[in-house]
Amino acid sequence: MEARAFIEITRPHNCVLAGVVGLLGSIVAVGHFPEPVKALLVFLVVTLGCSAGNTINDYFDYEIDRINRPERPLPRGAMSRKTAFWYAMALFAIGLILASLINVYAFLLAVVAYTTMFLYAWKLKPLPFVGNLVVAGLTGATPLYGAIAVGKIGLAGYLALCAFLVNVAREVIKDIEDVEGDLAKGARTLPIVIGKKKSAYVGAFFAVLTVIASFLPIKAGVGLSYLAMVPVDAIILYSAFLILRSQDRETAHRSQKLLKISIFLAVMAFMIASLVR
């Protein structure tokens, strides 16, 4: 067993980013930085939940990762599956304890989100499109969690909608990238059921919907601060163009990575809009 596997299996860069998005959701909601203790709790609850979710996902995805991600800790033998399971449970438990210190609504949302993460990894992930919607919903709930923690939704509601839509696009495109391993496991993801080309159209459709939804804050009076979203929209549209042009694994990987970057950039754009509003 490798000690570093306990960090690596959580995919810390993704989880720290998720924690930052949760914290930025608080800032977007109230238009200023929340009190330090609450800010730290939001960051930790989201980061720990993401870490536990990634770990339990690797536990259930052991066979498929032997094909798609052989370098990950479990396929290469750096950690046992049993250890990974109980490690995930411990991370979930610590996250819920911290969530209970914020407020009752933040605790309940954490319970729902954590339970959904487990169910997704266990049963929902292989279902055509259902798994995509679940992951997108969890991502959209991240900035919303920060908003609920500070007791105000504000522009975070629009941000959550955009995060949901762009993540539906990203998850569909990611399934296009992972078709080989999913086929070997017998999963029935959208590209396997309807084909890569049609799935590319679905992903591109949700990418365009994201761009359309990104205009909604203008109705809330953000004014010229919307311009911060223009380069983000351009990245999202370019990603859609890439996957429509080609559905090979390399292009799908590039497209979904661009969408992942656009999520963080969109949060920053919404934060700018909320601060200068």
- Label each residue of 101-159 as H, E or C: CCCHHHHHHHHHHHHHHHHHHHHHCCCCCHHHHHHHHHHHHHHHHHHHHCCCCCCHHHH
Q: Pick from 92, 127, 153: which residue ends a domain?
A: 153
pLDDT (0 to 100) of residue 164: 95
User: What is the dihedral sign for C-alpha 10, 12, 18, 23?
Assistant: positive
Asked whether the beta carbons of 202 and 172 are under 8 A apart, the reply is yes
Question: What are the helix (H) ranges across the chain?
Answer: 5-8, 12-30, 36-60, 62-68, 81-99, 104-119, 130-149, 156-177, 179-185, 190-194, 196-213, 230-245, 249-276
> Same domain, yes or no, for 245 and 115?
no
pLDDT (0 to 100) of residue 219: 66
> Same domain, yes or no, for 244 and 203?
yes
Distance of CA 70 to the CA centre of its chain: 22
Which residues form the domain of 163? Answer: 155-276
pLDDT (0 to 100) of residue 40: 97
pTM of this structure: 0.86
Asked whether the beta carbons of 138 and 73 are under 8 A apart, the reply is no
| Residue 271 dihedral angles phi and psi, to the nearest 5° | -65, -40
Per-block average pLDDT, block size 10, for the chain (277 residues)? 92 91 90 93 98 96 84 93 97 98 97 97 87 93 95 89 94 92 80 95 97 81 68 95 96 94 84 72
> Same domain, yes or no, for 115 and 6?
yes
> Same domain, yes or no, for 34 and 136?
yes
> Same domain, yes or no, for 159 and 149?
no
CATH code of 177's domain: 1.20.120
> Same domain, yes or no, for 177 and 263?
yes
User: What is the dihedral sign for C-alpha 56, 97, 22, 117?
Assistant: positive
Packing angle, helices 156-177 and 12-30, rounded to 10: 160
d(Cα 155, Cα 254) in Å, to the nearest integer? 29
Q: Count up the domains in the chain and report the number.
A: 2
Packing angle, helices 130-149 and 36-60, rounded to 10: 160
d(Cα 9, Cα 220) in Å, to the nearest integer? 41
> Same domain, yes or no, for 7 and 138?
yes
Residues 6+ apart with CB under 8 A from 17: 264
CATH code of 116's domain: 1.10.357.140
> Same domain, yes or no, for 164 and 188?
yes
> Same domain, yes or no, for 262 and 159?
yes
Q: Pick from 93, 119, 153: which residue ends a domain?
A: 153
> Same domain, yes or no, for 6 and 130?
yes
A 10 A CB-CB count for 56 gives: 24
Q: Pick from 132, 153, 174: which residue ends a domain?
A: 153
> Same domain, yes or no, for 85 and 20?
yes
Reading the block at residue 24, the tokens are 């930025």
> Same domain, yes or no, for 136 and 72?
yes
